[in-house]
Structure 1
Amino acid sequence: MGAGDTAVRRGHHITFGAIVLFSIIELSLSAWLTAQYSIHHNYTRISVRDRVRFILFCATWTVSFGSMLMILFYHAATGVLTSVGAHLLFLGLTWLLWTAGAAAITQTLGGGLNCKTQDLFVYCTHLNALEGFAWLIWILVTFAIIAVLIRGIASARRGDGYAGGLVSV
């Protein structure tokens, strides 16, 4: 294992660890908001409630599959389930989900709320945090896709093909 492979392993754990960590925070926020909306029915519009639920789904998806991919990569970095293709499949779907979720909540909030002046939305600060973490996760997933693409192209140029793992054998 070369120095580049060590950097990929370390970078993978750091990147996926950050994605999963921030997704857990987003999961907590969206689950709490969903519970409050279900108990009190105090959402401004049904679209607010539904978009918070969609972000709850996105966070659950990311925590579940991101953790699984991180654990698989830790145990077998050169397997089929940890290949460039598997990473691109997971990250591509995750990127689409977070793009939709972050854009939807941003559109609902009008780009963010000024909690000192608005009185329409309950849980104003929570909704702002939900939007901010959604975009943060989107940025991390975008970074991860770019890193995997670069690694995949380098692997193909070396002759390892696209099906090989992110770390050479």
Structure 2
Amino acid sequence: MVDLSSHIRRGHPITFLTFTIISFIVAVIASTLVTDYNSKNNAPSMGVENAVRFLVFAGWWGFLFSIIYVGLFLTGKGGVITSIAGHGIWIFVTWVFWMAGAAALTDRIGGGQDCGNSFLVYCNSTSALMAFAWIGWIILTFMLAVVAFIGGGAFRGGKSVKEGLA
């Protein structure tokens, strides 16, 4: 089997830091929207408000744990947490969170909006939140596919998925 460890050591921090930035953007936009909804009591609907609140959770979850994973990966610590299986479990759970949040918001606002003719308060911010949520989900899909590929190669090669990613 081809040794991919040098590519993983280079690509892991880049991919995780990209996702960290996207997570931060989602968390900040969603947190700002929730703050405005709470202070002005002007959420377009309970469904939109709930979807945005869930994206606050998903955004901060992704931001916090991405930083932890990058730190543990770069220092070579973490054991089972930074193993192939640990990465796979965390990425899958996060992938589900982001898909649920992005899909719920997309459903509640009816997909892409023409903000000139929209019922949405803060239409541009809500549309940006939806776009960044889907971008984060796409990055997570890529990460999940890479971890599945590496895990499958490790399993076929007689190694354990408890071993480190690189």
Report the TM range for the smaller structure's normalisation.
Answer: over 0.9
Unmatched runs of 5 consecutive residues or more in structure 1: none
Does structure 1 conserve the Cα–Cα contact (< 8 Å) formed by 2:115 and 2:124? yes
Write the mapping of 1:136-151 to structure 2, written as runs, cut at 5 A: 136-151=135-150
User: Which residue pairs with 1:116 in the alignment?
Assistant: 116
Alpha-carbon distance between aligned partners in 1 of 2:31 and 2:50, rounded to the nearest angstrom? 12
- Structure-2 residue corresponding to 1:87: 87
1:30 and 2:30 aligned: yes
- Give the distance between the partners of 1:96 and 1:81, measured in 2 at CA: 19
TM-score norm. by structure 2 comes to 0.95
The whole-number CA distance in structure 2 between the counterparts of 1:160 and 1:3 is 13
State TM-score, norm by structure 1.
0.93
Identity among equivalent positions (%) equals: 35
> Which segments of structure 1 move beyond 6 Å, counting only runs of 4 or more?
none
Alpha-carbon distance in structure 1 between the residues aligned to 2:112 and 2:63: 25
Counterpart in 2 of 1:161?
A: 160
Task: Return the letter of the residue paired with 1:123.
Answer: Y
Match of 1:61 in 2: 61
Q: Which residue of 1 aligns with 2:8?
A: 8
- Distance of 2:131 and 2:44 partners within structure 1: 20
- In structure 2, runs of 5+ residues without a counterpart are none
Greater Cα shift, 20-29 or 41-50: 41-50
Report deviation, 1:157.
2.2
RMSD: 1.5
